[in-house]
Amino acid sequence: IGFEWDNDSVTFSQIIEAAGELPIPPYLNRDTEESDLTDYQTVYSRIQGSVAAPTAGLHFTPALFESLRQRGVELRELTLHVGAGTFQPVKSETIGGHPMHSEFISVGIGLIEELARTDRRVVAVGTTSVRTLESLYWLGVRASRGESLDELPQWYPYDGHPTAMSRKEAMGCLLDRLCKDGSDVLTADTRIIIAPGYRYRVVDAMVTNFHQPKSTLLLLVSAFTGGDWRRMYDLAMEREFRFLSYGDACLLL
């Protein structure tokens, strides 16, 4: 399909914004409503690029953020553009047969500096943030080996690379590389798949919604919780929690 227009002062994204309709998830089984324009968006979203809202972030309001600040919780932002591949189910017989999609990440050097020096617990809001933060560690490993930071391959964490490196060491290597390149923002594509057998390097806790079967997001949760995810999901089904985009969230420690 080709698109063309006759006004150079108008961008393609502006045309889509004017003519398009917010694509709420099809499993909601209804048309998009006016309220979705506000509800199906996080209060902190600023940069266009995702094909869907990071649903764990929908639970947070300005008042809740202010309450967290008053309790001494430091809040930091990063960017991952959610791709259509996020919704691609695992159709292969084994995890190894699933081709993981690539997603664009952008992280300011200030956050990487903090991760390089802090011992505070890192709580990620949403699986998109989890994937970005864990990708930073492995990009740090790549930096220590003089490898490209443009893309993080799907199986890199499982391919026998050095795993004794601490979070601080990995972030330090990443910082050194960025400073050498004269960059204050890390941009890359990440393809890593987080599945059972993966050991988390950066994230200590996460807020996430309840995910559907045969999804890479459920694999990520399973890797974090071990076998406990089944007991947790049985409880969610028993108590009729709501799953997916406009559903309930849980805090995993």
The whole-angstrom separation of Cα 207 and Cα 205 is 7
> Do 37 and 22 form a contact (C-beta atoms < 8 A)?
yes
> Do 106 and 83 form a contact (C-beta atoms < 8 A)?
no
- The tokens describing 237, both together, are 């089904």
- Angle between helix axes 127-144 and 167-181 (nearest 10 degrees) is 70
- Cβ-based neighbours of 72, under 8 Å, separated by 6 or more: none
> Do 186 and 149 form a contact (C-beta atoms < 8 A)?
yes
- The tokens describing 150, both together, are 């443009």
- Angle between helix axes 127-144 and 109-117 (nearest 10 degrees) is 80
Predicted local distance difference test score (pLDDT) of residue 88 = 75
Q: What is the pLDDT along the chain (253 residues), one digit of tens a residue?
A: 888 899 999 998 888 888 888 888 888 889 999 999 888 889 998 887 777 778 899 999 999 999 999 999 999 999 888 777 666 788 888 888 988 888 899 999 999 999 999 899 999 999 999 999 999 999 999 999 999 999 999 999 998 776 789 999 999 999 999 999 999 999 999 999 999 999 999 999 999 999 988 888 999 999 999 878 999 999 999 999 999 888 999 999 9
DSSP string, 111-122: HHHHHHH--SPP
Nearest to 190 by CA among 145, 111, 130: 130
Taking the whole predicted model, whether its pTM rises above 0.75 is answered as yes
Predicted local distance difference test score (pLDDT) of residue 99 = 86
Can you name the CATH fold of 50-252? QueA-like (3.40.1780)
- Only one residue has tokens 């994204």, namely 13
The whole-angstrom separation of Cα 224 and Cα 217 is 11
The whole-angstrom separation of Cα 8 and Cα 6 is 6
> Do 229 and 221 form a contact (C-beta atoms < 8 A)?
yes
* Whole-angstrom Cα Rg for the chain: 19
81 CB neighbour count, 10 Å cutoff:
16
Sign of the alpha-carbon torsion through 14, 79, 213, 229: negative
- The tokens describing 231, both together, are 């007991």
Q: Which 8-state DSSP code applies to residue 95?
A: G
23 CB neighbour count, 10 Å cutoff:
11
